[in-house]
Structure 1
């Protein structure tokens, strides 16, 4: 392998020397160094395609230091999609179309697109809640059919913008998280008032509407199960770990950014479900983790890792809530699972090494 074939570029949003996940990238650098791989961090906006170089940062001598590097043969995409992503997208696409560059995986675009892809599999479709693009008629139909509904932004993260709507004799009870991810609740008296709220809250953004699922413990604590699946050093999918994320009781979501915490899966299920139900839930989660990644990869294109958020309702039914192609790893530190934590960091480097060898 040539020197640039032995380099792994972590692509992220950099503002000068400021970029997120520095602790994670430092670990990737140290693991890469042991495997003979040069790891550096860069912004797609800093690529010079004429000289095939990029300005970025590498961790050496105990600090992040700036430098100019040849374009890497392999790129790990950690550019999180958000409102400012449009400034990065043309540069990302140019790199994706470069025949000399291989991406570890290509990011998933949005919740609706992922839902559409997964619904093509009869087995996976059984775990998907009914989902529509939000319109007032779709919301009205969801409320009439299921008794309550949830609206969520098509490209939202961290539980921000997720709202539950429940009809009552006095109108509608609204509860959720606003754009700043702060919990709120209110009562709206009329259908016209509901329409005004939805129009103002969505403010031109595309939202989805689903039935409200009772994804909480008997005492009202919202939770979900984060399953991390990754490609390993042999290029095959592996389940790295599972953890339960518990939310704030004032919230309807369990996201850690909304004040939640994480606990191990086994003891949590034992506390809240009967043995037969526990066994069925575990079996379904394992099946889901085995079936979903290869199917999604066939439909979407190469993936390197997925954070699959699984909901379990009060009856013990399992649901696919969300699939994220740029998952975090915080849960495994929070539940003190050192093996899952280590694998979550080493697998991307091992998979990069696998791709470099097979080039």
Structure 2
């Protein structure tokens, strides 16, 4: 953990942040099953779930992530970037993932079947920030639409940003349902802020990546302690960018 020039604490370890979330009795229900990558945990996770994500503990921007799909008894497909591999046994799967990891620490996370909009999978970003007087506020929320054939939705991996209301309308949500999702997102953000604040009072901003699954359930995929601002400039409507910068300036961050 370290404190950035903005005055806001930065925590890179996804495992540390996952443990914090799971320590909260409310938030733990919204965290997908996640384990440290070991040979035994890989066997457990691939037996339990058809799809498992392989994520670097300290990675950012969707880099280094692979998706593992169980094709049948002892057969697996590994997808990373635009490459696809097959493994014909749990042992071969473990060996392939070890090569991808190259000695770095990795996590295994239950795969969530993302809701789609016009055929593109998406997840939701909820940003909470502190005001000058130390109060947490849910400042902005938006959608990250995945690029076709990519396993992650990140902007730096070819994804695009969009506003929540029109995206959810295209999935068939009514205005009432959209407002309910937005209230639930804000509540998750504020609960996460309080959870992290119990660990340190030096957090000033958090960005939650939240999956909406095909059953309408929200899942916290991860929490960013240095959420990106600049990608919001790609939206035609600059109001979200102006809002996030306005709050950021109150604790010394301008971009």
For the criterion TM > 0.5, the same-fold answer is yes
Tell me, in whole angstroms, the C-alpha distance in 2 between the residues paired with 1:346 and 1:218: 30
Conserved 8 A contact 2:205-2:227: yes
Tell me by how many angstroms 1:219 deviates.
5.9
Post-superposition Cα deviations, 1:171-223, rounded to whole Å, max 9, x if no partner, equal 2111123xxxxx32122223332122011111111100011111241765231
Tell me, in whole angstroms, the C-alpha distance in 2 between the residues paired with 1:237 and 1:115: 21
Conserved 8 A contact 2:117-2:170: no
Tell me by how many angstroms 1:312 deviates.
0.8
From 179, 202, 207, the equivalent of 2:106 is 207
Post-superposition Cα deviations, 1:227-253, rounded to whole Å, max 9, x if no partner, equal 221112222112221110111121111
In structure 2, the residue matched to 1:33 is none
From 33, 42, 45, the equivalent of 1:139 is 42
From 239, 244, 249, the equivalent of 1:344 is 244
From 66, 90, 99, the equivalent of 1:163 is 66
From 109, 113, 125, the equivalent of 2:16 is 113
Conserved 8 A contact 1:234-1:351: no
In structure 2, the residue matched to 1:334 is 234
From 178, 200, 221, the equivalent of 1:278 is 178
Tell me, in whole angstroms, the C-alpha distance in 2 between the residues paired with 1:273 and 1:331: 27
Listed as ranges, the gaps of 5+ residues in structure 1 are 1-75, 79-102, 178-182, 353-359
Post-superposition Cα deviations, 1:70-101, rounded to whole Å, max 9, x if no partner, equal xxxxxx825xxxxxxxxxxxxxxxxxxxxxxx
In structure 2, the residue matched to 1:190 is 89
Matched, 1:172 2:76: yes
In structure 2, the residue matched to 1:265 is 164
Tell me, in whole angstroms, the C-alpha distance in 2 between the residues paired with 1:253 and 1:207: 16
SS at match of 2:198: helix
SS at match of 1:104: coil
Structure number with bigger Rg: 1
Runs of 4+ in structure 1 over 6 Å off: none
Higher relative contact order (CA 8 A, sep 6+): 2
Tell me, in whole angstroms, the C-alpha distance in 2 between the residues paired with 1:198 and 1:220: 29
TM-score (norm 2): 0.89
Q: How many residues align?
A: 249
Matched, 1:325 2:216: no
C-alpha spacing 1:105/1:201, structure 2 compared with 1 (3 Å) = same
Tell me, in whole angstroms, the C-alpha distance in 2 between the residues paired with 1:159 and 1:105: 22
Tell me by how many angstroms 1:294 deviates.
2.0
Listed as ranges, the gaps of 5+ residues in structure 2 are none
